[in-house]
Every structure is written in structure tokens, then in C-alpha cells.
């Protein structure tokens, strides 16, 4: 019996919307913004403080951590005045603790935050990676209110920063392909991607 689905993703590919569709169709809990709130709790911050500081210029290490934790364009993460208290080991521990809280809460769809790594040895978790073409991701961010320049900058830098964090502090490539059971190009649309993902989950369950 599958107890959780983890969704790792390229920034801007629509993963939050797809995760919401999957969770709704299954009747499972969605841990996306909720997971950000748990990370904020563990680092003694608030969602309000998160939103106020999200787009401010940070030192390189803090930017890398920010991009690693960011769940979606609308998402939040711990403000930088708390990040200076966290070394790489603490960052990983906070993220892992939040993911395991999500997993232990019941059937869940968990978005990002290293869940595919922290739950990699679980046989009852299905791991997915979502990606999209650069043009598709840029169009999505513009449709959500970003300027052309900001959308291009975010698409061209966020995943590079995330990959750098994972390589530097976790000793892995990003994405580490062997961690995933399936990968989907979200250019086909959010609903179609959610449908295909769920079909793969059902087939995976039948093979257990």
C-alpha cells in the first residue's frame, strides 16, 4: 500500500498545481505550503516573516538554501535572519524532520524539500520528478504575474542553486535519477500529468 507520493520538480513547471490535483483525487493530505509552515515552525519563524523576506538579496549560501526549500512561485521559506543559525547539517536535519512529520501524518503528497532523498528507503512511497521546457516554465511564471525579465532570471538560476546545494551539502546530483520511479514533462498540461502520475502509482501498487 502506497502511503505517500513525493514530487520533486524543476522550478516553474507547475508542480504545486499538479500535486494539489493528485492529492484531491486521492483524498490525501497535501504537504506543500504546509511543509513550508512546518519548516518555519522548526526554525522558529512565521509564514508572515517568510513572505516579507523571501525576495531580499541574501548571501550566496542563504540563497542556495532558499532555492532548495522553495516549493513554488508563491511559496515561502525561513527568513534570512534565522538562516545564519543553520549550518548544512542543521539545514538537512530541519528539512528531514519536516518531511518525516508529513509522512507520519497519514497518506500524503509531499512536494520538494528533499523528500525523495529522506524517504528513499521506504517501499511504500512513490517518487516522481516533474520537468518542463524552458519556454513553458517562463510562460507560466509570466501568467502568474512575473515580468519577462524576472521569469527568465528565476528559471535560469533557481534550479542551478538547488543543484549546487544538493551537490555541496548532500553529496548528490540534482536530480538524482535513480531516486525516482517516474518522470513527467508537464508541457502536456496539469490535469494530464496528474492523470498519468496516478496511473503509474496504481501500476506500482499492483506490482508490490
Determine the Cα–Cα distance for residues 30 and 21; give it in Å rounded to an integer.
10
Residues paired with residue 9 on neighbouring β-strands, in sequence order: 130
CATH number (domain holding residue 88): 3.40.50.300
> How many domains, the chain?
1
Determine the Cα–Cα distance for residues 177 and 187; give it in Å rounded to an integer.
20
208 residues of the chain, pLDDT tens digit each = 899 999 999 999 999 999 999 999 999 999 988 887 887 787 776 655 433 333 233 455 555 555 555 544 344 444 444 444 444 555 667 778 889 999 999 999 999 888 998 999 999 999 999 999 999 999 999 999 999 999 999 899 888 877 887 777 677 788 889 999 999 999 999 999 999 999 999 999 888 7
Its domain, for residue 202, covers 4-207
Position 91 scores a pLDDT of: 60
Q: Taking the model in full, what pTM does it have?
A: 0.80
Judge whether 2 and 126 are in contact, CB under 8 Å. Answer: yes
Amino acid at each position: 500500500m502506497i502511503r505517500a507520493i513525493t514530487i520533486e520538480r524543476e522550478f516553474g513547471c507547475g508542480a504545486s498545481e499538479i500535486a494539489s490535483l493528485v492529492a484531491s483525487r486521492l483524498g490525501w493530505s497535501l504537504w506543500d505550503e504546509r511543509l513550508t509552515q512546518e519548516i518555519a515552525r522548526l526554525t522558529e519563524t512565521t509564514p508572515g516573516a517568510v513572505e516579507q523576506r523571501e525576495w531580499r538579496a541574501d548571501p550566496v549560501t542563504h540563497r542556495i538554501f532558499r532555492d532548495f526549500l522553495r516549493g513554488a512561485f508563491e511559496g515561502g521559506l525561513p527568513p534570512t535572519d534565522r538562516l545564519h543559525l543553520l549550518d548544512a547539517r542543521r539545514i538537512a536535519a530541519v528539512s528531514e524532520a519536516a518531511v518525516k512529520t508529513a509522512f507520519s501524518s497519514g497518506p500524503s503528497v509531499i512536494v520538494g524539500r528533499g523528500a525523495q532523498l529522506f524517504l528513499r528507503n521506504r517501499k511504500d512511497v512513490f517518487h516522481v520528478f516533474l520537468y518542463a521546457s524552458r519556454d513553458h516554465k517562463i510562460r507560466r511564471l509570466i501568467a502568474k504575474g512575473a515580468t519577462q525579465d524576472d521569469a527568465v532570471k528565476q528559471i535560469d538560476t533557481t534550479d542551478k542553486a538547488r543543484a549546487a546545494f544538493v551537490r555541496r551539502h548532500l553529496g548528490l546530483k540534482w536530480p538524482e535519477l535513480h531516486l525516482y520511479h517516474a518522470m513527467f514533462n508537464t508541457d502536456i498540461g496539469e490535469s494530464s500529468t496528474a492523470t498519468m502520475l496516478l496511473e503509474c502509482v496504481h501500476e506500482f501498487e499492483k506490482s508490490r
